[in-house]
Amino acid sequence: MLRLCVRLVRRPVLPAVRLWRRNMQLRVVAATLLMSLAVVLALGFVVIAQVSKGLLDAKEEAAQSQAAGGFAVAQEKANTPATVDGPDAADNKVGLDASTWMNSLVKQLASGGQTAFEVVALGAGTGEQVLPGTQGVKGARASGNVDPTASVPVKLRRAVNHSAGTFKTFSEIRYTAGAGEKAPEPALVVGKRLTDINGDPYDLYYLFPLSQEEESLNLVKSTIATAGLFVVVLLSAIAWLVVRQIVTPVRMAAGIAERLSAGRLQERMKVTGEDDIARLGEAFNKMAQNLQNKIQQLEDLSRMQRRFVSDVSHELRTPLTTVRMAADVIHDARVDFDPVTARSAELLAGQLDRFESLLSDLLEISRFDAGAAALEAEPIDLRDVVRRVIDGAEPLAEHKGTRIRVLGDTQPVIAEADARRVERVLRNLVVNAVEHGEGRDVVVRLASAGGAVAVAVRDYGVGLKPGEATRVFNRFWRADPARARTTGGTGLGLSIAVEDARLHGGWLQAWGEPGGGSQFRLTLPRTADEPLRGSPIPLEPEDSRANRARAAADAAGGAVERQQPADAGDRSTIPPRPAASGQSVPADPTALPGSGARVVARPAEQAPQEERTDADADADGR
């Protein structure tokens, strides 16, 4: 379930991740967008904080000034001497009790505000929270349908009741049901303890709504948000345009470089202007021109070399035929010669045979170099090819005291291949194994699995030194230059063999260890032109020193006991590696030496079980 969830999440994310990794312009524009957005947000917070602080400071200053004037007027009215009559009799204390006077005072003070503030008068008390359903603080009065007990915070009432002076705080103005559905609004509340006409203390509060300041702050926020969004979009567009001017030539250079690597050496960049990009384009074009010239020179030289080899090989055919005819006559008449002359005739015949083989190999190599080698593939059973090869190598094996054994030939091993070329490859491998096997057994193993077939030739002779696994396929390379060739080889056999394997789209690989023998593995696709994904036979044999050491360590550590491969001295029971039919073959990371490697990667969801490569094993190779 976890894998399924991960796969479902990765499926829509992978295209976006791939686009992000491959598009430099997208990354630069996204980074610019994010950084500009961060700068605009930081600047917006700072500006909003400063504007909010300025508005509140100005409001507090104006409110304190307004409230101080109102407190002075209220206290002055409470201290005004009594009068009997006159036009201001409603404002005097004669004939009025404290309750009526306070109602008149609140109404008079609130009338000067013109909705700029509201006035609340509360009787002196402890300022504790009033229980629900009670009348509240005795003598509470307010203007503009303001709920006096809910609008004045308890904390502020406590401060006014217990201390002298003016106190302020931020709160909300809440309205009674008589004001309709008017919503609460933020306000600045300023309060002070005063005395009424009877000298009794009461609390007078001024409530200054902050709705205008809030509207101003919202206007500033919307302005900054709009301007910030415009700035972010503008910076992103600028970044896109600027980066496009740089990325476009780079993309053009990358595309031309890819076409150059594909062999289209005439491709060049279009250069306009004299800036750094133009200089880069000119330098790139000069590099491409020099590269084309050098490659053309190398191609001409290679063509001349191939033509020289081909011409020499063909031209030597005629004199060689004449020399061969004369040598045959001399060789047939050697019984009439003295011993020295007879031996010379035999040596001449042998070297002529080797010379003819060398010419044939040179002609074959020239065909491969010229790309003229043709593959005549047809379904064949590799068991028949192996039998013909072993029959041909049997005289040499008897002379060496070597026994050639075949494993895995109980089932047909069918593949579409050129029988002549495959037989030539296997003959070279088997003869080399017999030559270097030191008289020990040579094991030929066949196997097939998935879309591949393989033939491995294992010997237990001198083996290969570290680093020789790749050099063994070089032309005219010999592991021991002082070692004589029993069969008079030309030094081109493995080079031709690896070219034959490549022509089939297959692999020819080598493994070896000093004193532990070597193994050469030929892997071919079961169907022509089918890419290989792996080999049914491991390159390192099961009876190698490393595998035997690991098996011994597993047995010593309490691992499950496994059947050990036979020792080099007794190889009669070497088991064939079973081919798991129906199972997918893991991708083989070991490519052919040199160019022309054909290794096909497996899909991402099928993680391959990589085999041990030649590069990882320094002791591998021939």
> What pLDDT shows up at residue 606?
36
Collect all residues with Cβ–Cβ distance below 8 Å to 309 and sequence separation of at least 6.
362, 365, 366, 369
Name the residue with higher pLDDT: 358 or 221: 221
- Output the pLDDT for position 138: 56
pLDDT in tens, 481-532: 555 444 445 667 788 888 888 888 888 988 888 888 899 999 999 887 788 8
Q: What is the pLDDT of residue 180?
A: 64
> Which tokens belong to 473?
């396929």
Beta strand residue intervals within 436-480, DSSP E: 442-449, 452-459
The pLDDT of residue 602 is 33
The pLDDT tens digits of the residues spanning 297-354 come to: 887 877 777 677 667 766 777 787 788 788 888 888 888 888 888 888 888 887 777 7
- Report the distance separating Cα 325 and Cα 53, nearest Å: 115
Write down the pLDDT at residue 456.
93
Nearest 5°: phi and psi at 16? -65, -40
Q: pLDDT band at 444, cuts 50/70/90?
A: very high
User: Which H helix or E strand runs over 142?
Assistant: strand 141-142
**pLDDT band at residue 443 using 50, 70 and 90 as cut-offs:** very high
Average pLDDT, the chain: 76
pLDDT digits (tens, 9 = 90+) for 129-178: 444 443 334 568 888 888 888 888 888 888 888 888 889 898 888 888 76
Please name which of 248, 207, 229 lies closest in space to residue 28, comparing C-alpha atoms: 248
- For the cut 70, the answer to whether the pLDDT of residue 70 exceeds it is yes
Residue 520's pLDDT is 92
Residue 318 or 257, more confident: 257
Distance CA 423, CA 493 (A): 12
Entry pTM: 0.45
Please count the CA atoms within 13 angstroms of the CA of 53 that sit on its side-chain side: 6
pLDDT in tens, 526-566: 887 788 888 888 888 888 888 888 888 888 875 444 444 43
Q: Domains plus CATH for the chain?
A: 1-60+217-249 (no CATH), 268-373 (1.10.287.130), 375-549 (3.30.565.10)
**Dihedral class, residue 180 (left if φ above 0, else alpha if ψ from -120 to 50, else beta):** left
Say yes or no to pLDDT of 33 above 70. yes
Tokens encoding 57? 């400071």
Of the CA atoms within 13 Å of residue 236, those in its CB half-sphere come to 17
Query: Given this model, what pLDDT does residue 46 score?
Result: 92
Residue 605: what pLDDT?
A: 38
Helix, strand, or coil (residue 240): helix
Helix (H) or strand (E) holding 141: strand 141-142
Please calculate the CA angle 323-327-332 and round it to the nearest 5 degrees: 155
Between the alpha carbon of residue 52 and those of residues 43, 65, 215, 219, 459, the distances in Å are 14, 20, 11, 11, 90
Q: Say how far residue 503 (Cα) sits from the centre of its chain.
A: 34
pLDDT digits (tens, 9 = 90+) for 174-219: 888 766 677 888 899 999 888 888 888 888 898 898 888 888 888 9
